[in-house]
Amino acid sequence: MAKHSIILGNVGNFTDRFMGVGYQRDYTLEEMFDRVKSVKGVTGVELVGNWHINERNFKQVKKNLERTELSLVSIIPDHFGIPEYGKGAFTSKDPKIREKAVSDTKVMIDIAVELGGDLISLWPGQDGYDYFFQGNYIDERGWFEEGVRACCTYRPSCKISIEYKPKEPRNFSYASNVTSTLLMVQQINLSNLGVTIDYGHGSVAGENLAESVAILKKYGNKLFHVHMNDNYGSWDDDMITGSIHTIPFIEFFYWLKKTGYEGYISTDQYPYREDGRDACNESVRWFDVFESMVDRIDEQKITALYETGNACDISAFLRDLMFGR
């Protein structure tokens, strides 16, 4: 099955608009790398631009990657936490800011390659709108495509993956769900451009994430990366994987296996009141559980279930798989 990784900040301190100083203590870069390394089965780490990696500290990051023997899975450029991007990065109404979004991404591409990575995961959190009549949807989607295309053609050996989310921090995001994001990817039409599935984002978008995996496989093999967490379906709570959903996760991991996904599965969590390292460890342990369940599935039985679609037979199959009863 897939390889496992952790976004570095998941094991650090967490703030929200109520607790500006954070719920935990601050950790040094070295401490966070050690905390990631301590989670059994984790072989990679993701970094967020400006938060963990920049042009000034990449040598320090490289030293920690080598020291912990963790692979750089991806860099997520900071298109969401810089004030000048507050009204859009790739879709800003100011062409100079749009140019900066591209140039900042190119810097992260260069750093990723220098550190042995080959993936940039774009989360365009500020690329959207809040009010009706605020956005020129056609122009701004066009600007988004132009910016992403410029990033993809800069170093074609480096993959670019767009992570979608329906809302937050904007009330409406342009990369809002799997199909709208895939449509833009197909419009740009470059082999090194794909999609990142964040389970929680897709859940808030009302998706069945197993079908989302299948859609990306069928229409171009465009699933490049996966972020895992859990929520109740109404907000991106970024909770421990498996704390809310069970059967949907089994189907999700089944379709990852069925479609031949070989990339990393990363934790993407905000365990405000829990120890971040322990919360990530719990998610990875649940990855193991779901993957082992999927490995026990009899393909002949699944094929027969698909042929009939009998919900009672499906229920019995899952009950036996989960509980042996």
How does pLDDT run across 212-266, given as a tens digit for each residue? 999 999 999 999 999 999 999 999 999 999 999 999 999 999 999 999 999 999 9
Res. 201: pLDDT tops 70: yes
CA distances for 105 relative to 5, 213, 218, angstroms: 22, 26, 29
* pLDDT value, residue 164: 99
d(CA 27, CA 12): 6
Please name the helix (run of DSSP H) or strand (run of DSSP E) that holds residue 204, with its range, or none: helix 199-204
Q: Say if CB 43 and CB 5 are below 8 A apart.
A: yes
- Report pTM: 0.97
Evaluate whether residue 303 is within a structural domain. Answer: no
Q: What is the mean pLDDT of residues 266-290?
A: 98
User: pLDDT tens across 51-96, in order?
Assistant: 999 999 999 999 999 999 999 999 999 999 999 999 999 999 999 9
Q: How confident is the model at residue 138 (pLDDT cuts 50, 70, 90)?
A: very high
Evaluate whether residue 207 is within a structural domain. Answer: yes
Q: How confident is the model at residue 17 (pLDDT cuts 50, 70, 90)?
A: confident
Evaluate whether residue 310 is within a structural domain. Answer: no
Q: What is the mean pLDDT of residues 20-38?
A: 96
Evaluate whether residue 89 is within a structural domain. Answer: yes
Strand partners, 44: 5, 71
Strand partners, 172: 129
* pLDDT value, residue 264: 99
Q: How confident is the model at residue 2 (pLDDT cuts 50, 70, 90)?
A: confident
Strand partners, 129: 172
* pLDDT value, residue 1: 60
Mean per-residue pLDDT over the chain, rounded = 98
Q: How many domains does the chain have?
A: 1
What does 250-265 look like in DSSP terms, one character per residue? HHHHHHHHHTT--SEE
Greater confidence (20 vs 181) lies with 181
* pLDDT value, residue 45: 99
Q: What is the mean pLDDT of residues 20-44?
A: 97
Residue 178 tokens read as: 């799997």
Evaluate whether residue 38 is within a structural domain. Answer: yes
Strand partners, 42: 4
Res. 153: pLDDT tops 90: yes
85: containing domain? 3-297
Q: Provide the CATH number for the domain around residue 259.
A: 3.20.20.150
* pLDDT value, residue 309: 98
Q: What is the mean pLDDT of residues 13-42?
A: 95
Evaluate whether residue 325 is within a structural domain. Answer: no
Evaluate whether residue 313 is within a structural domain. Answer: no
* pLDDT value, residue 256: 98
* pLDDT value, residue 102: 99
Q: What is the mean pLDDT of residues 10-23?
A: 93
Evaluate whether residue 314 is within a structural domain. Answer: no
Strand partners, 76: 48
Res. 34: pLDDT tops 90: yes
Percent of the chain with pLDDT over 70: 100
Res. 115: pLDDT tops 90: yes
